[in-house]
């Protein structure tokens, strides 16, 4: 089985766009690989400065993944900062790549343009991510489209190292997740936490109802496009057709049906998340076990790397 690794930097409350765009395609593939899911807590320090928030975000990522059904018999969930080799290897890569090369990063420029502090960690972000991937010889790296360039950076880091010190790292392949395309938000624009137009994945029935009732419906036409596009994520077109035909012009009825379908889908995951959150030490234990497994692989790799660069006497 090929090794798969992906990293999750916590970024607030998940919405159904995240689920169908990123989580679902991941859930569909991870069991066919030897899978590692990393909580990228050091990456999150590039933007989060409040220790309580950092802690909560680590816990939330683990709960989210377990709640949507990641099976620990088929995946290792671990915490980046618990495997010190990540920052160590990142440093070695930083000494191999140039500042102008890192300056080409779209993610860095976008984040700074959005007002994030241009700290050196944010600038070096791609080399830490390269270390995350290359330490494990991960061949499959499922990520969203926005991470394509980061995979290129990882390939280049592998290349630079191999050229300087001899064949050591495998060049990873990105696996750009083909999700359901862009899930629209309640205003018809891309659903995004930055636009405040989301339907939360673990929302209560009240929150789901409120969000669905606020979906903008087109004033002409019999079928409310936005409602229908979201509804298609939960039911087949064949199932939906008769209902929308019957509800022609009656937007409220279609929305009520959508609320019902989202609620049926979300309720078990929401309940599971609550149940998991109540289990004392669950998150700590999952991360401790996972990090131990990851560490063994990373440590073996770093013995070779240290020797090759000449720091082992």
Positions that interact with ligand TRP (CB under 6 A): 5-7, 9, 40, 43, 129, 132-133, 141, 143, 147, 150
Euclidean distance between CA atoms 42 and 54, whole angstroms: 10
Euclidean distance between CA atoms 56 and 113, whole angstroms: 27
Interaction partner, residue 210 (ligand ADP, ligand TRP, none; CB < 5-8 Å by kind): none
**Residue nearest to ligand TRP according to CB distances in the complex:** 7
Euclidean distance between CA atoms 55 and 287, whole angstroms: 13
Residue 42 Rama label (left phi>0; alpha psi -120 to 50; beta): alpha
Q: Is 111 a catalytic residue?
A: yes
Given candidates 179, 203, 224, 290, which one binds ligand ADP under the rule CB under 6 A?
Answer: 179
Q: Residue 215: count other Cβ atoms within 10 Å of its Cβ.
A: 23
Active-site position among 170, 190, 210, 232: 190
Q: Which residue number, 22 or 186, has a Cβ lying nearer to ligand ADP?
A: 22
Closest CA to 197 of 220, 218, 214: 214
Name the β-bridge partners of 7: 38
Stretch of residues binding ligand ADP (CB under 6 A), selected from 73-81, 157-165, 189-197, 251-259: 189-197
Interaction partner, residue 40 (ligand TRP, ligand ADP, none; CB < 5-8 Å by kind): ligand TRP
Active-site position among 24, 111, 205, 235: 111
Q: Which of residues 209-228 bind ligand ADP (CB under 6 A)?
A: none
Taking the alpha carbons at both ends of the chain, their separation in whole angstroms is 36
Interaction partner, residue 174 (ligand TRP, ligand ADP, none; CB < 5-8 Å by kind): none
Euclidean distance between CA atoms 53 and 158, whole angstroms: 33
Interaction partner, residue 264 (ligand ADP, ligand TRP, none; CB < 5-8 Å by kind): none
At 201, is the secondary structure helix, strand, or coil? Answer: coil
Q: Which residue number, 45 or 182, has a Cβ lying nearer to ligand ADP?
A: 182
Q: Is 252 a catalytic residue?
A: no
Q: Least separation, in Å, of the C-beta of 42 and ligand ADP?
A: 18
**HSE-up (13 A, CA, CB side) for residue 223:** 15
Active-site position among 24, 170, 193, 205: 193
Residue 111 sits in the site that holds ligand ADP (CB under 6 A): no
Residue 54 sits in the site that holds ligand ADP (CB under 6 A): no
- Is the separation of the CB atoms in 240 and 232 below 8 Å? yes
Token pair of 274, please?
């609550």
**The pairing of beta strand 75-79 with beta strand 34-39:** parallel
Euclidean distance between CA atoms 286 and 264, whole angstroms: 28
Residue 22 sits in the site that holds ligand ADP (CB under 6 A): yes
Q: Least separation, in Å, of the C-beta of 184 and ligand ADP?
A: 7
**HSE-up (13 A, CA, CB side) for residue 285:** 7
Q: Least separation, in Å, of the C-beta of 269 and ligand ADP?
A: 16
Name the β-bridge partners of 8: 39
Interaction partner, residue 183 (ligand ADP, ligand TRP, none; CB < 5-8 Å by kind): ligand ADP
Q: Which of residues 133-162 bind ligand ADP (CB under 6 A)?
A: 144
Indicate which residues carry an active-site annotation: 111, 190, 193
Residues within the interface to ligand ADP (CB under 6 A): 11, 17-18, 21-22, 144, 179, 182-183, 190-194
């Amino acid at each position: 089985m090929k090794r798969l690794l992906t990293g999750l930097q916590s970024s607030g409350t998940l919405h159904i766009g995240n689920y169908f765009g990123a989580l679902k395609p991941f859930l569909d593939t991870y069991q066919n690989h030897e899978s590692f899911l990393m909580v990228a807590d050091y990456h999150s320090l590039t933007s989060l400065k409040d220790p309580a928030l950092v802690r909560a975000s680590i816990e939330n990522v683990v709960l989210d993944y377990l709640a949507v059904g990641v099976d620990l018999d088929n995946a290792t969930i671990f915490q980046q900062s618990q495997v010190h080799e990540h920052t160590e290897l990142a440093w070695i890569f930083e000494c191999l790549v140039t500042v102008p090369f890192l300056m080409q990063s779209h993610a860095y420029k976008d984040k700074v343009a959005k007002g994030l502090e241009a700290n050196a960690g944010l600038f070096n972000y791609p080399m830490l991510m390269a270390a995350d991937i290359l330490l494990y010889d991960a061949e499959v790296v499922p990520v969203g489209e926005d991470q394509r360039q980061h995979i290129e950076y990882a390939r280049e880091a592998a290349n630079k190292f191999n050229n300087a010190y001899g064949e050591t790292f495998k060049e990873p392949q990105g696996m750009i997740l083909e999700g359901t395309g862009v899930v629209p938000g309640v205003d018809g624009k891309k659903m995004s936490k930055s636009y405040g137009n989301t339907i939360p994945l673990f929302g209560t029935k009240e929150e789901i109802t409120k969000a669905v009732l606020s979906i903008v419906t087109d004033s002409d036409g019999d079928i409310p496009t936005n409602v229908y596009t979201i509804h298609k994520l939960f039911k087949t077109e064949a199932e939906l057709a008769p209902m929308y035909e019957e509800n022609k012009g009656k937007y409220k009825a279609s929305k009520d049906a959508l609320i019902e379908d989202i609620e049926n889908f979300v309720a078990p995951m929401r309940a599971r998340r609550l149940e998991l959150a109540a289990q004392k030490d669950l998150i700590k234990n999952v991360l401790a076990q996972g990090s131990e497994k990851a560490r063994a692989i990373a440590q073996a790799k770093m013995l070779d790397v240290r020797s090759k660069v000449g720091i082992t006497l």
